[in-house]
Structure 1
Amino acid sequence: MEAWRQTILLKGGTLLVHDSEDHIVPRRADLLIQDDRIGLIEPQIPASSSMKVIDCTRDIISPGFIDTHHHAWQSQQKGLHCDHTLLDYYHSGNLASYHLSLDDVFWGQLSGALEAVDAGTTTIVDHAHLNYSPEHSVEAIRATVASGIRSTFCYCAHPRVATWQPQFTMENEIFPKWVMATFAQLASKQPFGPNGRVRLGFAIDSAYLAPQLLGVILSDVRAKGVKLITSHATRVGNRPSHTASAMAKKGLLGPDILLSHANFTTKEELNHMKNTGAHISSTPHTELHMGHGHPICLEPEFFDISSLGVDCHSVCSSFLPAQMLLVLQASRARRHEELLARGQLDASVGPTVEDVFNLGTIKGARAVGLENEVGSLAVGKKADMVIFDGTTPSMRAVAERHPVSGIVLHSSIRDIKTVIIDGIIRKETSKLSPVLIQKGIDIHTGAEQDEHWLDWESVGRELDRSWKALQTKMEETVDEKLAKDGIMRSLSEIVRKIAEKQ
């Protein structure tokens, strides 16, 4: 069974409604949720005894946030990366999935997804670089379904560690037979969960692949019905990313392509992306933290194809408005610095709170091909929304005067009263709802088996047990200097061997 579904009436809230030009028109109205959809938005909707009625008189009702780049499995790594560069993160974050048992994968993934829900994220693009066996992705999908979040779970073929000591080495093959065989099984049975809330995508980092192989892989993925393919487009050290140009040369860019970061995208690459309908996910905190370069999502030439992601909740909060605030002010500061350097002034502040709010809502929906389903409050769309308390100390006055700036500039997770996804309340009175755990998902039948409920405290205790055990395992296994020295050598070797086979 799924979580209890009911007709829900939201009374008297301030709805953040997008018009045809993506401008937000705050509207005091009632909103009726029927099944998984928004059924009605009117000034007054009569209540009945069969409805759950929520008084939203002083509240802001926002579209649910859409996070277009996230590694949801990384909950156990929280606190490790506070002063890390990208190279430090690579062995302690990205490749740390080596250490995870299937049990660790489940609790890390469930905790990461629930952290996002708690923060008002209703849709996530999960770049799931955790595959060390066919079962790893199955467990991650099982946890994602349990969390209640809407997800495109991007199954990932990625480099895997072979040994940490006495020498750091990586597996020779990114694509052993089981990798694509498991993907094919999952693709044949997706979507997963009630109402197909979890869809299968694909993640691949083309920096590790010869263009010929990349073309073969993406052709196979598309033939199996996947609607979203994501890839990091990240400059590491002095080596520029060639992701967009590599895809463009092989004719692989398209509206199903989502590139993460892309901070050093050239004009030629940008033109290819715009001409093919590809999109970008900017993750401001990690990009500024780890030396990726300045986030580009609010630059005028990139804005139309951009969206926002958290990237690593192991590095920062999953609260997407925090990313909005960070990139808004960083972009304004950079713009004014450039003007001052030319001896110029501008009466305009530059990008607006509406611009950045849209990156995390309607533009995020477009980036992942779900504009007709989510990203705005409209009759017929999925009932994915966040209710902010307008009476907290941080939200008083601004919730009424300028509710969008209230969310972007003033709010915190504390201000989120309610989160609704697919018409089901996943957070209520500021507390996560219990989640339904299934003991297994048979990837051959898609059938869920043997259900039970868990509250957040129970999930949190499992996460505590897991991260402490993993900390011990990593301390016993990993020599940081060996890992750092070996990573670049091993990845270069992978690239050379793959190229030789073409």
Structure 2
Amino acid sequence: MALTGKYILLRGGTVLTHSTDENVVPLYDTDVLVHDDTIVKIGKAIDPPFDAYTEVIECHGKIVSPGFVDTHHHVWQTQLKGRHADQGLVAYMVSGNIMSYAYKAEDAYWGQLSGCLEAINAGTTLVLDHAHIAYTPEHATAALSATLGSGIRSILAYTNPLRLSQWDQSSCVPDQDLLPKWAMSQLSEWLEKYNHNERGNAVAATVEVGMGFDLWFLPKNVVLPMLTELGEKGLRVLTTHVGCNALQGQQSPVPMFSSYGLLQHPYPPSNKKSALPFLLLSHCGGIPKSDLSLLASTGTPISSTPDTESHMGMGFPVSLHSSLRNSKTANVSIGVDLHTFGPASIPLQARALLQLTRLERNSSLLGKDTFPAWDVRSSSEEAFNLATIRGARCLGLESQVGSIAEGKMADLVVFDAKGSVGMLAAAEHDPVIAIIRFSETADIETVIINGTVRKRNGKLVDVAVSRDGVAGKGVGGDADVMKWADVAEEVRRSQKDIQARIERLSIDQGRKTLLGMFHVDQEKLVDAL
């Protein structure tokens, strides 16, 4: 064994591994040895390498889990937290989605950095970030810089939001340039820089550039050549919002995606077999069962976000729908979506998904004058797998992350089960159930991403803040080391500045513009009170 580099030894924990058929196999009183960014050995009583520095993390009475995978999240929105707790999707589209208008590039930086750190604190080690904060090149650069600085593993899906040329108390005017040249140029440059790195290349060890795209009303002869060109430059992951309802429209876009050749199994960076990126669909509430079956048969990845989907009327989450659950080829996962009205915790999303799935099934049985007997629909292990190995598969990264195995990247989360109030007795009964049903973010003692400790002893470690990135002028440059408390103060200051700009805007004008642009039949919009 090489004696150079950095070693971490997680000693004596309950290590959650996966069998070949993806059953979770707890290994008790087991060690995990990490060398640089890789898990190199799993076993009992591993001796730290001689003549090399090894950080030993005692894990007796603790659970060592794979890091959690979040496949749909808008990470930049931290300063908007709390605003959408009692709002539906229509209100959110104005007060959240297009509110990047009120952000300067430095606001984008602090929102993105704190959003990444909140995710890390809750055990997320990999996120597909639908980053609709690319309002200007400077906004996009600030978001990328913050993501890199946080240390989270990210597929940063570069997304142009609906930009506004004017918004004040009397008007709200959309910018007609939906795909500005500067955005395509910046995205292309980033694809060349960040998506052609072999493992071990430190240019961007934890960040890949993807794309978020929802402009499917544009002509096919515009969309397909653009995606083909970007695919040839290294774009691997494309993500979009999908739903069938009175707001988004009742016509499913899945047949269109199929005709475009976008429905395919996610593939890893080392096996880019298509000129086109693969497409990950977020939500999918209300789409026909036949379309769900088509997505399952093609392996097209889906992300359910239980909190927002139930909160905002987007339908029951589909990731444990029978047509997907019973398919051997379906790729399903879960995401946070918005951390503006709830915590950025994937275990909480897994918990919500289980309960909503069971509610749907049980309601169906009760409606037939029958009653659910013995076991309930779906298991905690299924939910755990959606949050780990299946989430990684949806991003084409299952060979690198998503489970604890020798040779995989060291993305690990340690739960202090012994010291937890809520996990007491549950952890001794079943460690997976303990995490999915009983754990809290406060129980997460250690988070390791790419072999680097990002949370230690229950506290986020200090982060390097790039002053160039704050200004939106570049990635890298001189950096200051900041504690979480100092980052939080910058977010509070930024929040006040954003609020002052919001107060100069007419929310009503913004609502009228959005509803008019999307040709919404407003007679179908009713209060849910």
TM over 0.5: yes
- On the 8 A contact 1:168/1:487 being kept in 2, the answer is no
Contact kept? 2:244, 2:287, Cα under 8 Å: no
Counterpart for residue 488 of structure 2? 460
Residue by residue over 1:336-369, the C-alpha shift from the partner in whole angstroms, topping out at 9 and shown as x without a partner, is 1111212334433110000011111000000011
Pick which of 76-85 and 45-54 moved more. Answer: 45-54
Percent of residue pairs identical = 37
- The answer as to whether partners of 2:144 and 2:475 remain within 8 angstroms in 1 is no
- Is 1:301 aligned to 2:305, yes or no? no
Unaligned runs of 5+ in 2: 266-277, 521-529
The reply to whether residue 176 of structure 1 matches residue 198 of structure 2 is no
Aligned partners of 1:262, 1:195: CA distance in 2, in Å?
A: 32
For 2:379, the equivalent position in structure 1 comes to 352
Q: TM-score, normalised by structure 1?
A: 0.93
1:399 CA drift (Å):
1.3
Aligned equivalents of 1:206, 1:266: Cα separation in 2: 21
Distance 2:417 2:398 in 1: 28
Per the alignment, residue 253 of structure 1 pairs with 263
Distance in 2, matches of 1:37 and 1:194, equals: 17
Tell me whether 1:489 sits opposite 2:516 in the alignment.
yes
Give the alignment's TM-score, normalised by structure 2: 0.88
Rounded to whole Å, the distance in 1 between the matches of 2:118 and 2:45 is: 34
- Distance change (3 Å), C-alpha of 1:241 and 1:157: farther
For the Cα contact (< 8 Å) 1:6–1:424, is it kept in 2? Answer: no
Structure 2 match to 1:472: 500
Q: Which is worse superposed, 340-349 or 426-435?
A: 340-349
Counterpart amino acid of 2:207?
V
The range that moved more, 239-248 or 416-425, is 239-248
Look up the equivalent residue of 2:484 and give its one-letter code. W
C-alpha separation between the residues in 2 aligned to 1:329 and 1:89? 25
Whichever residue aligns with residue 38 of structure 1, its letter is: I
For residues 118-197 of structure 1, the aligned pairs below 5 Å read 118-165=121-168, 166-191=170-195, 196-197=205-206
CA offsets 1:276-335 (integer angstroms, 9 cap, x no match)? 321100000000001111111111212332100000111210111111111101111210
Match 2:358 to one of 309, 324, 332 = 332
Q: Tell me the amino acid that sits aligned with residue 438 of structure 2.
A: H
**Could you tell me which amino acid in structure 2 is paired with residue 175 of structure 1?**
L
Match of 1:500 in 2: none
Alignment-derived partner of residue 234 in structure 1: 243
Q: Which amino acid aligns with 2:435?
A: I
| Letter aligned with residue 462 of structure 1 | E
2:352 paired with 1:342: no
SS of 1:448 mapped into structure 2: coil
Is the CA contact (8 Å cut-off) linking 1:102 and 1:139 kept in structure 2? yes
Partner of 1:428: 456
Pair 1:19-2:19 in alignment? yes
Alpha-carbon separation, structure 2, partners of 1:186 and 1:241: 34
Number of residues of Structure 1 aligned to a counterpart in Structure 2:
486
1:403 to 431, 441, 464: 431
What is the distance in 2 between the residues matched to 1:252 and 1:404? 35
Q: Judge which range, 483-492 or 364-373, deviates more.
A: 483-492
Q: Secondary structure in 2 aligned to 1:14?
A: strand
Task: Indicate if the aligned counterparts of 1:207 and 1:241 stay in contact, CA closer than 8 A.
Answer: no
- Say which SS state the counterpart of residue 369 (structure 1) adopts: coil
| Conservation of the 8 A alpha-carbon contact between 1:14 and 1:26 | yes
Q: What corresponds to 1:285 in structure 2? A: 307
Matching residue within 289, 292, 301 for 1:270: 292
Distance 1:487 1:13 in 2: 52
1:180-219 map, 5 Å: 180-191=184-195, 196-219=205-228
Amino acid of the residue matched to residue 232 of structure 1?
Answer: H
Letter in 1 for 2:346: L
C-alpha deviation, 1:109, in angstroms:
0.3
